[in-house]
Chain A
C-alpha cells in the first residue's frame, strides 16, 4: 500500500475513482470526433451513405465479434482474480490481449486494402463519382476515428499483457486486485467506443 493512504480500502476506492474520471476524459476526447461526424452526417447524408459502402463490412463485423469476445474474456479475468486464481487470470488476460492484437492485425489489413483502393485522404485519395469532397471528409473521419481507437487498443493490449505477467507471478490475490480491475474498466471502455464506431462507419445505410 502506498504511504499516503490510510488503508487498502481507501487506496482501492481512490484508484477506481481515478480510472473512472480518466475514462470520462476519454469519452470527451472521442466526443469531438463524434460531434464532427454527426455534423457532417446531417449535412451530407447521401455522401456518407455512399462512402460507407466502400468500407469492408465483412472484416469490420469479424472485428466487432472479436472485440466483444475479448470483453467476455476480460470480464472472466476480473472474476477469476476476485476468486484468487492467479494462473487462470493470467491465461484469460493473455487471451484478451491476443484477441486485441488480432483485431489490430485485421484493421491493418483493412487499411492496406483501402490504401490500394486509393481511399486514404492526404496520401492517395482518388475517387470517381459524385460528392468527392464529402466522401473524402468521411474517409478522413474514418481514419482518424479508427486510428485513435486502434491506438487505445494497442495500449490496452500491452497493459493486459503486463498485468498477465504480474498475475502469473502471483502479484494479486482475492484481497488485492485493483490493477486487474482497472485494466478491465479501460478495456471495456475501448470496446464501447468501437460499438459506436462500427455502425457509424460501416452500417450507415447498407440496406
Chain B
C-alpha cells in the first residue's frame, strides 16, 4: 500500500460503485471516464469501417463490396471518427479529467452542464449509429450540397441531427473550460504559469465556441432544405452550393485545430517531463497556440481551390494557409530544443509523444504542398490529401491521445500499466501508421482519386502495402485495450507521482479524492520547474 492512499483518502472511484452513481455523477473525473468508455467504443466502430475499406482496397477490382456500400462505409468512418472520436477525445476525456486538477480547482465551473454534455454526446451517437443501421448515408462526412440536400437518401437528416446534438455537447464543454480556466485558478497560478495543456485546451475551447454554432446552423439549413425542398444551397432553387462550402469549412477547418491543439498540449507535458527540462520558450509556445487558433479561422478557403471560387480568393487563402506553418514550426523547434541536452528516458508516453512530433511534422510539411495553388490542382481529392490529413489528425491526435492515456493512467486509475507492453504498442502503432499512410502519398501523387473502391492494376503494390499497414495498425490499437484493462486489476499500485513530474495534478493522491485537493494549493513557481540532471 502506498503512503498517501490511506483510509482517510477515499478516492473518487470509491465514492460509489453502482451504475446509478456513475450515470448521475457530477464529478469531472468520473465524467471523463464515462467519455473514455463511449469514445473508445466509437473509435472501434469507426475503425471497423476503415478495416472494410482497406480490405476492399487490398485488391484492384472492386470485389468485396459494391460502390454504393463502399460510399456508406467511408461516410460512416468519416462521420464517426471526426465528430465522435477526434474532436471530443482529448478535450472531453483528458481535459475533463485534468483541467480542474491542473489549475487547482475542485471541479469544473458547471458540473451539471458537464454531465448534460456527456448525455448529449451519447444521444447524438445514438442518432448517428441508428441512421447507419437504418441503411447508411453515402454523402461523405462533408455533406456537400446539392447532393446531400436533393439526391442522397433520407438518413442524411438523422445523421445531421446526430452531428447537431454532438455539436452542442462540445459547445457546453468548451464554455465550461473557458469559464473554469478564467475564474477558478488556484492562488498564484497566473496565466503564464499555466501548463501548456491548459493553454491548448483554452484555445481549443475558444475555437469550439466560435466554430461549432456555424456548423450546427449550416447543417440545419441542409436538413430544412431536404424536408421542404426549398433552400439557399441548391442552384436549382436559386441558391449557391459554394455558400455551403464556405460555411462548412469555416467550421471544419478550425476543427482540425480542435483536434491537434490539445494533442500539442499533451506532447508538451510529456516531452518536458521525460527530458527533465523546462519546456524551451514557454511563452512562445503559448503564443503559438493562440496564433494557430487565430490563423486557423482564416484559411478555410484552401479546401475550395478547385470549387470555382474566385482566383484572388484562392491566392489569399493560399497565402494565409502558409502562415499557419510559422506557429506550427515554432512548436516543433521548441520541442526539439527542449529535448536537446535533456536527460531523456524513453517510457511509453515519451515514445508516443516523439511519434506525435514526427507524424505531425510529416503532415505539416505535406500541408505546404496542398496550400500551393498550382500543386493543389493536381493533388486535390487524391490519396495525397487522405494521407496528409491522416498524418495530422490521426497521427497527431491519436498518438497524443494514447500518449496522454499512458502518462496519466496512474493518476486516473491508481495503477501502473506494464511498461514493456506500452513501449511495444507505441512502436507497433508508429510502424503500422507509416506503412499505412506513407504509400498513400505516392498513390495520390500518381493520381489515385479518393473515394473510389477500385483502381488500375499498376497501383496494386502501394495499395497492398497500405492495407498490410492497416492490419499492423489495428493490432497496435487493440493492444492497449487489453493491457490497460489488465492493469486495472493486476497492475502495480502507483504512488501519487510515478514520473516525478511537476504540475498540480501530481500533488494529489492517485487516484484523486472527490474534491481533488484536501486544501486549495498555492502556486509559487513557474510551470515545468524541472532541473536538468547532469549525467
Contacts and interface: CB of A to CB of B under 8 A. Distances in A.
Contacts of B232: 36, 40, 137, 140-141
A25 B228 contact: no
Given A4-B105, A4-B108, A137-B238, A121 B228 contact: yes
Contact of B183 (A10, A32, A35, A123): A10
Interface in B494-515: 515
A130 to B, nearest CB: 13
Nearest to B177: A21
A4 B175 contact: no
Contacts of A21: 174-175, 178-179, 209
B182 A17 contact: yes
Given A18-B109, A25-B212, A39-B243, A33 B238 contact: no
Contacts of A65: none
Interface string A20-54: 01101110111111011001100110000000000
Q: Is the interface of B mostly helix, strand, loop or mixed?
A: helix
Contacts of A36: 221, 232, 243, 247
B217 interface: yes
A59 interface: no
B106 A4 contact: yes
Contact of B240 (A28, A32, A39, A121): A39
B214 A31 contact: yes
B218 A32 contact: yes
Contacts of A121: 228, 230
B228 A3 contact: no
A144 B184 contact: no
B227 A122 contact: yes
Contact of B247 (A32, A125, A133): A32
A136 B184 contact: no
Most chain-A CB neighbours within 10 Å: which of B100, B184, B232? B232
A26 to B, nearest CB: 7
Contact of B209 (A24, A35, A39, A136): A24
B228 A122 contact: yes
Contacts of A32: 213-214, 217-218, 221, 247
Interface string B116-160: 000000000000000000000000000000000000000000000
B239 interface: yes
B520 to A, nearest CB: 7
B198 interface: no
Contacts of A29: 213-214, 216-217
B110 A18 contact: yes
A3 B515 contact: yes
B78 interface: no
Contacts of A40: 232, 240
B238 A133 contact: yes
A7 to B, nearest CB: 11
Interface string A70-107: 00000000000000000000000000000000000000
Given A6-B520, A18-B110, A25 B213 contact: yes
B171 interface: yes
Interface string A115-147: 000000111010000000110110011001000
Contact of A136 (B107, B214, B237, B243): B237
A13 interface: yes
Contacts of A25: 171, 175, 209-210, 212-213
A22 B175 contact: yes
B345 to A, nearest CB: 36
Interface in B319-342: none
Given A28-B213, A31-B214, A136-B238, A122 B230 contact: yes
A42 to B, nearest CB: 11
A14 interface: yes
Contact of A4 (B111, B211, B239, B247): B111
A53 B229 CA distance: 24
A178 to B, nearest CB: 13
Contacts of B23: none
Contact of B229 (A4, A10, A122): A122
B165 to A, nearest CB: 14
B475 interface: no
Contacts of B212: 25
Contacts of A136: 230, 237-238
B262 interface: no
A137 B239 contact: yes
A32 to B, nearest CB: 4
Contacts of B106: 3-4
Nearest to A27: B213
A98 B33 CA distance: 44
Interface in B162-200: 171, 174-176, 178-180, 182-184
Nearest to B28: A4
Contacts of B238: 44, 133-134, 136-137
B95 interface: no
Contact of A123 (B176, B179, B228, B231): B228
Contacts of A33: 217
A31 B210 CA distance: 11
B82 to A, nearest CB: 19
B61 to A, nearest CB: 43
B157 to A, nearest CB: 14
A151 B418 CA distance: 54
Query: Nearest 8 A-B pairs (CB), nearest first?
Result: A122-B228, A133-B238, A4-B107, A32-B217, A121-B230, A29-B213, A28-B213, A14-B183
Given A3-B515, A28-B210, 13 more contacts: A4-B105, A18-B110, A18-B179, A21-B209, A25-B210, A26-B213, A28-B213, A33-B217, A44-B238, A134-B238, A136-B230, A140-B232, A141-B232
